Amino acid sequence: MKSNQDYKNAALEALRGNWPVAVITVIVYMAIVSVCSAPSSILGNGFLPFVPEWVVAGTSGASLLLTVLFLAPLQVGYYNTFNRLYQEGNTDVVSNLFTSGFRNWGHIVGGQLLMAVYIFLWCLLLIVPGIVKAYSYAMTPYILVDRPELSANEAISLSCRMMKGRKFDLFYLQLSFIGWALLCVITLGIGFLWLSPYMMTAQAAFYQDVKADYEMQSVRA
């Protein structure tokens, strides 16, 4: 098992010389998410109080559908574009943002939707079990792309097996960026354009590590 610093060093090495395209990818991703969520946010927050409630409800429903059908695979693409940068040195990060998540669209949407349903059902019990399960399922966006032959449920199950005994490791890795996140707040959020690819590439390094450990354990078994 590698340390947090190992993952961070690997991320910085992968990003060396690629920061401009990485930042552009973050901007594109955030812009798309903002545009897609803007209509329901404006109406739902009462910025246009004269709009009928049924319009607000319809917009919220359309926004939910858009999230499932478009933003969910886009998020998978966001995860995997930095995974490909780390693993393959693939620098076409902006185009990979779309191709990685939409190449096997139905499979990825189904996997993301099923994972969200599972987390929601666990959260109905208590928040803590829901959070724990969210970490168990955290490798699913990578597996859906890496192993397209697996069903959505099989991809989620594989993530659970990979993350057995490693859930706190991922939490600790994410927590280790808290200092950088606070500094980004001071910059009015601009710093997140650099922090996000740093975190995502470090998480990709974590995924490759747990994947290698799991495969090694499977061979020994």
Copy the structure tokens of residue 176: 């280790």
Q: Are 198 and 205 in contact (CB under 8 A)?
A: no
Q: What is the pLDDT of residue 43?
A: 43
- pTM: predicted TM-score of the whole model, two decimal places: 0.88
Q: What is the pLDDT of residue 63?
A: 64
Measured distance CA(28)–CA(63) in Å, rounded: 19
Element (H, E) at 34: helix 19-44
C-alpha distance from residue 102 to each of 69, 75, 99, 120, 213 (Å): 10, 10, 5, 24, 28
Q: Are 144 and 76 in contact (CB under 8 A)?
A: yes
C-alpha distance from residue 200 to each of 30, 33, 135, 156, 169 (Å): 14, 17, 15, 20, 15
Q: What is the pLDDT of residue 126?
A: 81
Q: What is the pLDDT of residue 44?
A: 45
33: Cβ contacts below 8 Å, ≥ 6 apart = 71, 74
Q: What is the pLDDT of residue 205?
A: 97
Give mean pLDDT in consecutive 10-residue pieces for the chain, a chain of 221 residues. 92 96 95 74 45 41 71 93 94 90 91 91 86 94 95 96 95 95 91 95 97 87 60
